[in-house]
Amino acid sequence: MEIHPTALVDPKAELGQGVKVGPFAIIERDVVIGADSEIGAYARIDSYTTMGRGCRIFPYASIGSAPQDLKFKGEKSELIIGDGTAIREYATVNRGTEAGGGVTRIGENCFLMAYTHVAHDCLLGKNVIMTNAATLAGHVVLSDHVIVGGLTAVLQFVKVGENAFLAGMSGIAKDIPPFVFASGNTAVLYGLNQIGLKRHGFAEEEISALKKAYRIVFRSHLTKAEALKQARVEVPQLPRVMYFLQFIETSQKGVPRHGSGEK
Q: Looking at the annotation, which residues are catalytic?
A: 120-121, 138
Interaxial angle between packed helices 224-234 and 239-250, expressed in degrees from 0 to 180 and rounded to the nearest 10: 170
Q: In this structure, are residues 234 and 214 in contact, taking their beta carbons and an 8 Å threshold? A: no
Buried-state track 34-71, b at ≥16 Cβ within 10 A, e below 16: bebbbbbebbbbbbbbbbbbbbbbbbbbbbbbbbebee
Residue from 60, 68, 58 nearest 136 by CA: 68
Q: In this structure, are residues 189 and 213 in contact, taking their beta carbons and an 8 Å threshold? A: no
Q: In a 3-state reduction of DSSP, which class is residue 180?
A: strand
Cα–Cα dist 166/155, whole Å: 13
Cα–Cα dist 212/176, whole Å: 18
